[in-house]
Each structure stands twice: as structure tokens, then as C-alpha cells.
Amino acid sequence: MSGLKAKFEFSKNHKATRRSLLFAFGYCLILSTALSSCSEAKNNTQQSAATPNLVASSSTTEKQLVRIVRSKQLTGLAVLEKQGSLDKRLEPLGFKVQWSEFAAGPQQLEALNANGLDIASTAESPPVFSQAAGAPLVYLATTRPSGKSISLLVPTNSPIKSVNDLKGKKVAFQKASIGHYLLVKALEKAGLKLSDVQSIFLPPPDANVAFSQNKVDAWFIWEPFATRNVQNKVGRVLVDGGELRDTGNFYSTSRQFYQTHPDVIKAFLEELQKAEIWTKDHPKEVAQLLAPVTQLDPPTLEIMHKKYDYGLVSITEKTITKQQEVADKWYSLGLIPKKVDVKVGFLTPEEYAKITPSEVLANK
């Protein structure tokens, strides 16, 4: 019995010792983990104190976006995008380009006013309507008219032979666009008024569908829509803007973007002028480059090339006077709610001298 009792005591003590060892081991493990966690937390705290500097350093190297309208016409602006030279020019300034597509000029300027676009390219009328709505836009540069690139189309088999035949007919166009403005001028030249036709306000894609389905009798539109419809024998040109247009397009921005980034604007206009001159001198290369953009074959684009007059033009008092005439015309027709002083959107000669390419200034 004493032997069994001794074994029992030994077994009991042995188990107790094992429990003690396991407990001690577990305790040490927990203590070690806790100390490790504390040490890690301390390191993290020290590291986080330095992190803001690292984040700040990273954010300063991140490129800002300059959002520029995409052109799908045979223009220097379309060439500028395809060549990629502007991105290289803006890289040292900490900017990269985002090309944004819009149906027409009015939609661009709505985006400009809502801070969804930084540089727009429109005809003369959209800025007037934008100014009438109180938008603080700035006219940056202008172009030559290139009137032949805008056409008044009628269906191929239409009995309409002259502008006079449009009386009482449905004419489609983008409201507040160059098509709208040239329709007014074409009608006045024929002794008619805008109220003598049924105005159908449609953006180009919708107007294209309506025209192809004979839901409208005529359509005032720019390239490449005009050439596409003629090529497809859907429409024919009744008149073009060659003898009607006496204004150019405008590049514009918001007042805030001009005040904040004049260096970006200067770089943009300088690279754009280079693209304009290259486009003027290289019709074959331009046709190859822009065939995917315009969805027209290169031979057709070479023919269209002659409809455009390339190169930026300095903004002068004559430019401002002509733009005021446009604004007054829209006001007299009751299509803008108030008389607009367009000069509010123009810069001083000294300000233009700082952003306009030197060769453009030299050709005043």
C-alpha cells in the first residue's frame, strides 16, 4: 500500500509540475506577445509621425489634370491630341492632359461653367449665350473663319433648290451654335427671318438621325457630318458658310483657371499654334493621322483640308467689336435674356501678350 501511495503522490506532483510549466510557458508567451505588440505600436507611432511628410512629398509629384475638349474634325486641335506634344510640354509644369468629348459648343461651355472642363473650343455664338447666363468665361484666342467647313444640307432628292424654299420648312441645328448663327444670316440674305422656318433644336448626333430619316427638311451642320452625308448620298449642300461667315472660332476658359494657370494656357496655345501650322503644311499626313478620328478615308480628308484655313489669330479690338455684333444680334432676336457686354470676357492687350504665341502676335 505504501508503494502505491508513493506512486500516486509522485504522479500527482508530476502532473502539477507539468501544469505549472504549461501555465508558466503560456504566461510567458502572452507576455512576450504583449511586449511585442507594445513595441510594434511604438514603432508605428514613430513611423506615423513621419508619414505625413512622405504623403505630402508624394502628392506634390502627382500630375494635375488640364481638361481640354476633344476635336473630331480636321483641325489643329485634333492633331495636337494625336501627336502628344502637349503632354510633354506640360510635364515639367506638373500637368497632364485629359481630352473630353462633347456634342457641341454649348455643352462644352456648360461643362466649363460647372468646372467639368478647363479649355473649350467653340464658334462665336456659344460664348455669348454663356455670358448671357452669367458665366465668367475668358476668351483666349481666335481663329480664321473656315466658313466652307459648315454647310446647310437638304436631302438628296429634296425639291428645295434655294434658301427661299425653306420658308415653312423644318430646319435642324444645335441651338446657340455656328449652324444657328449662319442660318440666321442665310435667311436674312434671302430676305427671310428665323421665324419663317420651323427651328428644330437638336444636337448633332440626334440631328444626324432625324435628317437621315427625313424627319427634317434641312440641317445646318459642320464637318465631318456634312461630308459623310454627301458621300453616303443622304444629303446635298444647299449653301455653305464660305460667303456667310465673318467670325472665327474661340478658345476659352474659366476666369478662375486663367488666373490660376496662365503658364498652362501659354503652353497650350504655343503647342496648338505649332500643330495648326503643321496641319496646314501636311495635308497627306494629316489625312492619315485623323482618318480614325473623323471616320473618313484619307483621300476624302485631303479634299476637305481645303475647306479650312489654319492658324491662330490675335484677339484685337476688331475681334471684340465683331463679337459684340453677334451678341447684339442674338439679343435683337430675343434669344438671350439680356444685352451682353462681351468685353467683360476679353483680356487686356498686355494680358494677351503674355499668353499668345509670339508668331501670332507678329501677324496682327
Q: What is the CATH number of the domain that holds 95?
A: 3.40.190.10
Burial 151-176 (b: 16+ CB within 10 A, else e): bbbbbeebebeebebbeebebbbbbb
Query: What residue numbers bound the domain in which 66 lies?
Result: 62-145+248-362
Question: Per-residue pLDDT for the chain (364 aa), expressed as one digit of tens each?
Answer: 444 344 434 344 444 444 443 333 343 333 343 334 434 433 443 433 333 333 333 344 688 999 999 999 999 999 999 999 999 999 999 999 999 999 999 999 999 999 999 999 999 999 999 999 999 999 999 999 999 999 999 999 999 999 999 999 999 999 999 999 999 999 999 999 999 999 999 999 999 999 999 999 999 999 999 999 999 999 999 999 999 999 999 999 999 999 999 999 999 999 999 999 999 999 999 999 999 999 999 999 999 999 999 999 999 999 999 999 999 999 999 999 999 999 999 999 999 999 999 999 998 7
Yes or no: say if 268 and 87 are a contact pair by the CB < 8 Å rule.
Answer: no
136 and 159 both lie in a single domain: no
139 and 282 both lie in a single domain: yes
Q: What pLDDT is attached to residue 3?
A: 44
83 and 110 both lie in a single domain: yes
276 vs 101, 136, 269, 283, 297, CA distance in Å? 20, 27, 10, 11, 21
285 and 328 both lie in a single domain: yes
Domain count, the chain: 2
Q: Is the pTM above the cut of 0.75?
A: yes
Q: What pLDDT is attached to residue 6?
A: 42
253 and 352 both lie in a single domain: yes
Q: What pLDDT is attached to residue 59?
A: 41
